[in-house]
Amino acid sequence: MSRYGGYTLGRMKFDDSQEKPDLSKEMLLRISRYFLPYWKQTLVVLVILAATSVLGLLPPLLIQQIVDHALPGKDLRLLALLVAGSLAATVASGLLGVLQSYLNAFISQNIIFDMKNQMYRHLQGMPLQFFSNVKQGEVITRMTSDISGIQGVFNGTIVNFASNLLMLITTAGTLFWMNWKLALVSVFVVPLFVAPTRKMGSLRWKLAKETQEKISEQNHIIEETLSLSGYMLMKLFTKEDQERDRFKAVSAETTRLQIRESMAGRWFMMLVNTFASIGPMLIYLCGGYLFIRGEITIGAIIAFVSLLGRLYSPVGQLTNLYVDIKRSVALFERIFDYFDMEPQIVDAPGADSLNGAGSAIEFRNVSFAYQPDKPALRDISFKAEPGTLTALVGPSGAGKTTITNLIPRLYNADSGSIRIGGADIASITLKSLRSSIGLVTQDTYLFNGTIRENLLYANEEATDEEITQACQAAYIHDFIMKLPDGYDTVVGNRGIKLSGGEKQRLSIARVLLKNPSIIIMDEATSSLDTVSEFYVQQAMNVLLKDKTSLVIAHRLSTIMSADNILVIQDGRVAEEGKHQQLLERNGVYKDLYDKQFGKKVT
């Protein structure tokens, strides 16, 4: 099934893609679509590149005039003019360079901006399953370093290609125009650059790829061990030494690779520099010969030598270009990999709003599997009438949470239908569906902000009075008022500064502020002390009053007061009824009850 296949395989696909980037026409077209909105700026960059490549030719040519005419003729005026001309060309080219850098940055950063937003929107639409499968930290890596990597793409490919090609053509043209024999001699050295450049390019690419993998492994360790829960796990199992060694080993490998990568560059530079110095020697030798024969001037030899750099450097860069293109395409591939994962839970075409449809919940023959051939729910049918409390009980792993997850469509049922107020939830907009449901989970998620900010997340427009009312109803107001900063107290990551009971009551207050017609609640299994238990119970009574509620029940009081109890076992509804009826049946429920609560009541 594609539901998870795509996500877990995503990583492997990326690793393969780095070996052989997909340079197909479709891929290139897809990439160029991101550049399209900036075609005007790109065009200006190309014009600037053409202008600077011509301007760059001027100083050597003017030097030729100085040596051949101004100096022998002792013409001070001409000398000053030629020097000024040469200076002006350099300054103009420098100014254009500044403008070009600005445009480079403008284009790259805007593409990054577009992609980041597209990615964020896309990830928001991904189903829960995606986030349970993806490696921790990977989403952040894709959102930040992968997308930021695009920064170098425009410069590394389009600009690199155009500027080097233009420089090569204009320089070669000028050299042949000046003296074709000497030009042929200079070209003779060119193949010497190509072979080592290609080899070094491949080596650096390989090292860069390995380095990147190690860095991502390193980030993963950081994410895993220096996040709140990872840190606690590490401390409680006293794995500090082990984790430190693991981190050190990966770090050492990264360091080694990075040193190798920069040294690969150094050897390459040394080779290229050596070959580059052969060129001028040859020109002095052959040019000198032509000078002695009276075919060429000294100025021309000097101009030739200074133009040589403009011939050799683009050859080297162009030979290496394919590495940059490969790297850039691989980068885009990694990003597209994510874009290609379809968000499966989306509004059906023509989906309706739930408004006024009522709050009765009905499951009709619902089946669902997280993994193929391992059904978590089989043929579940039940009805929860408006304003009633339905308790879900059953052993752990029976499928209770799965039932509650299907209602706000955190997952889609594989077959059967779920109806709210008679309307199939598959045909209702997700927004209206989810805003009519309040979910209180065991693991209350609070973000690291103040209590007030956490409450306002449910309803931005809530007034202070409404907040206070909700907190009073949830029996948490008095506690908050005793905190040094009251409602402005910061709760810490995931609300770590609050106790379990306090977090749950705060989360109840948050749902009260949202005021949905349906409440889904997973009661905390962790035993609270009697006082907390009492307060949570009071808060729940307020929350569930007049609401259609589905509670995964762990407390006897909840079960006793439920209008209907569903006993879930092995993904099926094994028994259904009220507490007393179920006890009398002497079946699964009775068994469960005896094990869980028997001792407490007798």
Q: Which SS3 state, helix, strand or coil, does residue 390 take?
A: strand
Whether 303 and 63 have beta carbons less than 8 Å apart is answered as: yes
Residue 397 C-beta: closest distance to ligand ADP, Å? 4
395-411: burial string, b at 16+ Cβ within 10 Å, e else: beebbbbbbbbbbbbbb
370 part of the interface to ligand ADP, by CB under 6 A:
yes
Whether 287 and 216 have beta carbons less than 8 Å apart is answered as: no
400 part of the interface to ligand ADP, by CB under 6 A:
yes
Tokens of residue 217, six digits: 């492994």
Cα–Cα distance between 431 and 421 in angstroms, integer? Answer: 16
The residue type at 153: V
Q: Which of 18, 64, 171, 402 binds ligand ADP (CB under 6 A)?
A: 402
Residue 568 C-beta: closest distance to ligand ADP, Å? 6
Residue 380 C-beta: closest distance to ligand ADP, Å? 11
Piece of 72-80, 82-90, 390-398, 449-457 that binds ligand ADP (CB under 6 A): 390-398
Q: Kindly tell me which of 214 and 400 has the beta carbon lying closer to ligand ADP.
A: 400
Whether 568 and 399 have beta carbons less than 8 Å apart is answered as: yes
183-208: burial string, b at 16+ Cβ within 10 Å, e else: bebbeebbebbeebbeebbebbbbbb
H-only helix segments in 385-474? 400-406, 430-435, 451-456, 464-473
**Residues 108-147 vs ligand ADP: string with x where CB under 6 A?**
------------------------x---------------
Piece of 339-347, 357-365, 370-378, 458-466 that binds ligand ADP (CB under 6 A): 370-378
409 part of the interface to ligand ADP, by CB under 6 A:
no
376 part of the interface to ligand ADP, by CB under 6 A:
yes
**Residues 540-579 vs ligand ADP: string with x where CB under 6 A?**
----------------------------------------
Residue 479 C-beta: closest distance to ligand ADP, Å? 29
Sign of CA dihedral 74, 76, 78, 79: positive
Q: Which helix (H) or strand (E) holds 369?
A: strand 361-371
Residue 517 C-beta: closest distance to ligand ADP, Å? 23
Residue 343 C-beta: closest distance to ligand ADP, Å? 17
5 part of the interface to ligand ADP, by CB under 6 A:
no
Cα–Cα distance between 140 and 133 in angstroms, integer? Answer: 14
Q: Which of 173, 191, 397, 486 binds ligand ADP (CB under 6 A)?
A: 397
Piece of 47-55, 110-118, 280-288, 393-401 that binds ligand ADP (CB under 6 A): 393-401
Ranges within 69-108 binding ligand ADP (CB under 6 A): none
Q: Which of 64, 108, 212, 401 binds ligand ADP (CB under 6 A)?
A: 401
Q: Which of 82, 398, 513, 566 binds ligand ADP (CB under 6 A)?
A: 398
200 part of the interface to ligand ADP, by CB under 6 A:
no
**Residue 546's CB: how many other CB atoms inside 10 A?**
10
Q: Kindly tell me which of 132 and 274 has the beta carbon lying closer to ligand ADP.
A: 132
Cα–Cα distance between 433 and 312 in angstroms, integer? Answer: 65
Q: Which residues have CB under 8 Å from 449's CB, separation 6+? A: 490, 491
390 part of the interface to ligand ADP, by CB under 6 A:
no
Counting residues that bind ligand ADP (by CB under 6 A) gives 12
Whether 234 and 243 have beta carbons less than 8 Å apart is answered as: yes
Cα–Cα distance between 105 and 98 in angstroms, integer? Answer: 11
Name the site residues for ligand ADP (rule: CB under 6 A): 132, 370-371, 376, 394, 396-402
